[in-house]
Amino acid sequence: MAIVRGFTGLRPSKDLVERVASLPYDVMNRTEAREMAKDNDKSFLHIVRSDIDVPEEVDQYDELVYKMAKRNLDKFQEEGILVQDEKPRMYIYRQLMNGRVQTGIVGCTSIDDYINDIIKKHEFTRPEKERDRINNFEYCDANTAPIFLTYRKNNEINSIIKKWIKFHMPVYNYISEDNITHIVWVIDTDEVVEKLTEIFAGINSLYIADGHHRSASSVAVGMKKRKENPNYTGDEEFNFFMSVIFPDEDVFIMDYNRLVKDLNGNSKEVFFQKIEKCFAITEIGKEVYKPMSKKTFGMFIDDKWYELKAREGIFDENDPVDSLDVSILQKNLLDPILGISDPRTNKRIDFVGGIRGLKELERRVKTDMAVAFSMFPTTMDDLLSIADAGKVMPPKSTWFEPKLRSGLFIHKLSD
């Protein structure tokens, strides 16, 4: 039984939402974030990427960075850039991208559901990335960015969303600089909020689609606050974290492609000989090759594309993790041939989300990489079955688009 409840959201004033809302903190580096926010003193990047507002020589994880985030958040509230709702609400958040629509409920989910695996995970987290968001959330005393959750579609929830949208005007409706439409409705009727909470209570599992580090950090902050408040009741805001919850049928996963800096000491000829033991190779030529089915990969090297098809017997078809394309490539090529044993930490490998297109792979190989691999996207069925089995995907298995905007909603952790 999943716990989903409303919260008194801290939100941008309607006339400023386009200036406030920003891309997520983790899809850019410090230089890129500074460039995005340089002419916009109301960008939420000043809160989620507050390292842009301290001197360059200050480490991006220095305490000064998080103190700056808190100062900026306070300033946004004092100046009326962000205004808090008067009572707990839920929200409907719709995104339109290239003709596709995804519509979800924004509410608060339970740290106990995370701990008890009602909120299911499919990725490991890295301690340094967790610590960064722990500090941001703790200093700001708020969840400054939502977690992207999904669930197996529910007709009752869909019906409530459709009815609300039909009879109510959105509070926000704008197109961001990346040509994605963002529309938000405020569900301000207590009976509807309570009904949604009741329906979600009948759903067995929620699944983290994107935001494993944010969710783990939210739980860590909540658990720390429990220790600081030994008489807590479980109803305090710090027992919950902000989530946007989309039905699985709306969620779109793109390819997450790989680049490797060198051939690990192999000549091109030896490299190809080793690949052929596990993959059938077909030369494609100059035309960009995008895999159209599972167990098929594109490879770009020396200005040519090749198709790689996994040979039978190199993976366990009954294992949902071993049979993932990212696992097949990792276990049969990246690790044994190119020496990438841990793609989370190896500096010779890089990853490019499908939103950037395959021409970006060509560009990188022609500049600073030796070989690129285009991937067929992991599916939602893959994600759900792996999470249900209590297993974990390899790193960089999924790239979700569109990304959730930061700054549309903030969840304060103190009442």
Task: Summarize pLDDT for 116-139 with one digit per residue, the tens.
Answer: 999 999 888 888 889 999 999 999
- Record the pTM: 0.92
In a shared domain, residues 205 and 262: no
In a shared domain, residues 193 and 319: no
Q: Which two structure tokens, joined as six digits, stand for 324?
A: 């993932």
In tens, the pLDDT along 262-293 reads 999 999 999 999 999 999 999 999 999 999 99
In a shared domain, residues 52 and 109: yes
Is the residue at 393 inside a domain?
no
In a shared domain, residues 151 and 285: no
Indicate the helix (H) or strand (E) that contains 185. strand 181-187
Is the residue at 173 inside a domain?
yes
Quote the pLDDT of residue 184: 98
Quote the pLDDT of residue 138: 97
Residue 229 class from Cβ within 10 Å (0-12 exposed, 13-18 middle, 19+ buried)? exposed
Give dist(CA 395, CA 408) in Å, integer.
28
CB of 404 within 8 A of CB of 252? no
Written as one letter, the residue type at 118 is: I
Quote the pLDDT of residue 27: 86
Give dist(CA 318, CA 386) in Å, integer.
12
- Compute CA 368 distance to the chain's CA centroid, rounded to the nearest angstrom: 27
In a shared domain, residues 108 and 122: yes
Query: Residue 101 belongs to what domain range?
Result: 4-253+401-412
Give dist(CA 251, CA 411) in Å, integer.
23
Is the residue at 23 inside a domain?
yes
Residue with tokens 């909603």: 409
In a shared domain, residues 243 and 260: no
Q: Which residues contact 308 (CB under 8 A, 6 or more apart)?
A: 275, 279, 280, 281, 296, 297, 298, 299, 333, 373
In a shared domain, residues 260 and 248: no
Quote the pLDDT of residue 236: 97
Residue with tokens 């027992």: 239
Q: How are beta strands 206-210 and 119-120 bridged, if at all?
A: parallel
Instruction: Give every residue of the chain whose pLDDT is below 50, as ranges.
Output: none
User: Number of structural domains, the chain?
Assistant: 2
Is the residue at 141 inside a domain?
yes
